Amino acid sequence: MARRGENIRKRKDGRWEGRYIKVRTPEGKIQWGYIYGSAYAEVKQLLIRKKAEAGFYNLNSTHLTFEELAEVWLQSVRNSVKESTYAHYQYTLHKYLLPVLGSVQISAFDESFLEQSMQQIIVSPDALHKPLGWSSARECLSMLRRICKYAAHLRLIRPMELEVRLPKSAGKMPVPFSAEEQRQIYEFVQENPTPRRVGLLLGLELGLRIGEICGLQWGDFDLKLGILQINRTVSRISCGDGHTKVAIQTPKTRTSRREIPIPKPLLSMLKNLRGGRSNPTWFLSGNENKPVEPRCYRKSIKIYLKQASVRPVRPHVLRHTFATTCLQAGCDVKTLSDLLGHANANITLQRYVHSDMTRKRREINRIFSRPSGVHKG
């Protein structure tokens, strides 16, 4: 589909038309050149070629390397992303892209070269890192595309469409805790409901991410109304010099800042725990100085699950179990998406709506059930 500013339009006769600046007269007047094709993609590629021939892009006028370009791009996005996102960009760039592309002059870029370079990054024949999985490969390709788009915007290179075959996704969905395992976790917490143990239920019954649990302060709990506000998250991020630090930030996305109703049994536990703790007191650590960081709390969760005699799994399975339990109970996807703090319901559908046999059987019986006494003729 044509985008604003591309100078591409669909004509009444069904053909696509592209317009470019062919030449400027000494008086500054523009002489337009036109190209035509049967498809938008065809005209777009022809237009890029014509613009290059007309000198629209500074294809040979710079000795800028990919590393220099990437650093300029990083600075351009620094103020528009969270600190943790920026740190992750730095890590991906220096760990994967720069070892292969860093010293290459961008004037040498074309689709074939960049696609071959991406395959080299994915496979890592020089053992710079392990071969990349689907998720990491997708992140690298996305970053490379963004940097190339930025360079094209600056007219340093022509726009490029990169097509790279990514590794197959493992496709393994975490198995949620069974009803029996959930009962065992609840009983384990109930035996001695400390804040760290109750944190298990904040994941299991409210669907919180581990960083969100670590970021809770007692002031986030409205125990009179039975509502929890998610206002911040805690994570450990790279400083770019080989060191890391704990960062307290706003939640993952705008919709991650949300209010969640607290179930009555959990609310009762929280009221008993509150005591005289002040609003700025961190929920898990019990002091106002600093929160518990996720990597420490992950270790605690691993110990707690073992003590509760349930499977030793990643903490995210608590959140996954919450989503699965809500769906099996008939919760609609939009409400579940709001509870989980997803940017949109499509994310919820992609990540959590995977039908088990019980759900399939219930839906088939609901749709095709017949009143008693009705038989085939």
The CATH class given to the 66-153 domain equals mainly alpha
User: How confident is the model over 214-244, as pLDDT tens digits?
Assistant: 999 999 999 999 999 999 999 988 776 667 8
Domain boundaries, the chain: 8-53, 66-153, 179-362
pLDDT at 289: 93
Contacts 24+ apart (CB under 8 A), 91-100: 91/238, 92/136, 92/139, 92/140, 92/143, 93/143, 95/129, 96/121, 96/129, 96/132, 96/136, 96/140, 97/66, 97/70, 97/121, 97/140, 97/143, 97/144, 98/66, 98/67, 98/70, 99/128
User: How confident is the model over 323-356, as pLDDT tens digits?
Assistant: 989 988 888 889 999 999 988 888 887 777 655 5
Q: Considering only 18-32, 57-71, 278-292, which range has the smallest mean pLDDT?
A: 57-71
Average of per-residue pLDDT across 259-273: 95
How would DSSP label each residue in 338-371? HHHT-SSHHHHHHHH----HHHHHHHHHHHH---
Q: Which CATH number fits domain 179-362: 3.40.366.10, 3.90.105.10, 1.10.443.10, 1.10.10.10?
A: 1.10.443.10
User: How confident is the model over 182-225, as pLDDT tens digits?
Assistant: 999 999 999 999 999 999 999 999 999 999 999 999 999 999 99
Beta strands across the sheet bearing 259-261: 221-222, 227-229, 259-261
Say if residues 35 and 17 touch (Cβ distance below 8 Å).
yes
pLDDT at 125: 66
Say if residues 48 and 110 touch (Cβ distance below 8 Å).
no
User: How confident is the model over 105-139, as pLDDT tens digits?
Assistant: 998 899 999 999 999 999 876 666 788 988 899 99
Say if residues 240 and 95 touch (Cβ distance below 8 Å).
no
